[in-house]
Structure 1
Amino acid sequence: MHKRAINVVLTGATGVSLAGMLVAGVSAASEDDAARQKNLPATQAMAAHNKQSAAKAAKAQSKAAPAKKAAPKKAAPAKKAAPKALLSGKTTASYFWDDGSGVNGDTGAPAGGKPMQKGLFASPSWPMHTKVKVTYGGRSVVGFVGDRGPGAPSHSGVMLDLDTYTFRYLLDGKKPESDYEAGTGEGHLKGLKYEVLEWGEGAGKKGEPVPF
């Protein structure tokens, strides 16, 4: 009987102790929650302040940084217009190469004072150093008058003598066998188109070609 009474007393004491602990825990939790609730406005205010500060800093930086100007677009280079022909027409052309060698009746250095070269033509009447464009078979070459000729053939309508290289290129786009031979057996280009691009200042006559 005495032992049971002790047990009852202990059980009661334990229950009271546990109940006290639970009450204390609940009270502590309530206090923590209350503290968080109390500090919440301050936390929110701090966050809002930080956000405003960041926005102001970004705005200030944006004003301080100079605005980048778009790089100006480079204008496309203007295409050079092809020179307008001062005189144009068609004729029959032959070929020659005069370099003082005596080959094929070579009479010596060209009359225009410049050495024989590719793009040097002979005309019976045009001024020396006249700039001329010749076209045949869809191919063109720009050269200059550097000699007189052809002689007698000019009376038969052959009004231009082309250097061997120009002649062969206009004929088939190839190179001659040598300076003196076109290498095709062809001696004339009929219907060759000529265009005077610039009159030379040397001796001769401007206008339609006149036989030698």
Structure 2
Amino acid sequence: MQQRAINAVLTGVTGTALAGMLVAGVAAASDDSAPGEKQFLTQEAVAAQQHDARQGQAQNKAQNKAENPAQKQTENKTPAGNAEQQQKQREAAKESAPAKKGPRALLSGTTTASYFWDDGSGVRGDTGAPASGKPMQKGMFASPSWPMLTKVKVSYKGRTVTGFVGDRGPGEPSHRGIMLDLDTYTFRYLLDGGKPKNKYHAGSGQGHLKELKWEVLEWGKGAGKKGKPQPFGS
């Protein structure tokens, strides 16, 4: 009887002790698992942040790619646009700038002109080499009275040529109002803008230009008389 009572007490004590140990073990197990869960949660947060960061970088790259072509296009257009604008400004400046004027005429008037080509060939009344000593050439005119090497501008029907006095003439025709001889090329150009048949023949049925405008731009230093043209030998 006494032994059973002792056994019962021991059994109770042992059970109580075991229960306490079980409770302590469970509590310890609970405490041990807590850091693992916290660590798992922290890793999840880091992974989420990294994912968000990668997403943000990808979005930034996409945005940069979308913006850069437009920026490059703008940059590419800018120089061309500037060049075009500068060209327009230059053209506007040219239009607004006053037209350049040629030399002022010292003397001007109108006359009837014929043509010649004196090179010593004897063709078409050739009287020999030009009196100025210069070879016959385009732009050489003959005057019955003006000083040699006088600079003269002639105009007819909107066409203009500037030449110089290099010979004497016309002769007898100057007494009939024909006060200027033009080289064959100048004569034909003023007539219709064409070219002569050859240097001795203008290639047209017209041998005179009436109402030809002349302007003396500079008097020559050779022999002759300044002023209005005078008939040959007067």
Output the TM-score relative to the length of structure 1: 0.69
- Paired residue for 2:61? none
C-alpha separation between the residues in 2 aligned to 1:138 and 1:79? Answer: 18
Alignment of 1:106-121 (within 5 A): 106-121=126-141
Whole-Å Cα distance in 2 between the matches of residues 138 and 3 of structure 1? 137
Correspondence for 1:33: none
Q: Distance in 2 between matches of 1:79 and 1:191?
A: 27
Pick aligned residue for 1:195 from 205, 215, 221: 215
Give the aligned residue type for 2:173: P
Residue ranges of structure 2 left out of the alignment (5+ in a row): 1-10, 39-93
**C-alpha displacement of 1:82:** 1.0
1:139 pairs with 2:159 = yes
Of the three residues 3, 6, 18, the one matched with 1:6 is: 18
Provide the C-alpha distance between the structure 2 equivalents of 1:149 and 1:4, rounded to a whole number of angstroms. Answer: 156
Q: Which blocks of at least 5 consecutive residues in structure 1 are unaligned?
A: 27-75
Q: 1:5 Cα shift?
A: 5.7
2:196 to 176, 186, 191: 176
**1:14 maps to amino acid:** V
Amino acid at match of 2:18: I
Give the partner amino acid of 1:100: G
- Residue of structure 2 equivalent to 1:152: 172
Residue 225 of structure 2 is aligned to residue 205 of structure 1: yes
Measured in 1, the distance between the counterparts of 2:102 and 2:15 equals 130
How much identity, in percent, do the aligned residues show? 67
Matches within 5 A, 1:1-212: 6=18, 9-16=21-28, 18-19=30-31, 81-212=101-232
Say which SS state the counterpart of residue 193 (structure 1) adopts: strand
Give the partner amino acid of 2:187: F
CA distance in 2, matches of 1:104, 1:3: 157
What SS class does the counterpart of residue 201 from structure 1 fall into?
A: coil
Q: CA deviation at 1:10?
A: 2.1
Deviation of 1:7 after TM superposition, in Å, equals 5.3
Distance 1:209 1:7 in 2: 150
| 1:176 partner SS | coil
Q: For 1:146 and 1:169, how far apart are their aligned partners in 2? A: 19
Normalising to structure 2: TM-score of the pair?
A: 0.63
The alignment of Structure 1 onto Structure 2 pairs a total of residues equal to 162
1:143 to partner: Cα distance: 0.3
Large movers: runs of 4+ above 6 Å: none
Higher helix fraction (1 or 2): 2
**Pairwise CA RMSD of aligned residues?**
2.8
Q: Which amino acid counterpart does residue 142 of structure 1 have in structure 2?
A: T
| Corresponding position of 2:81 | none
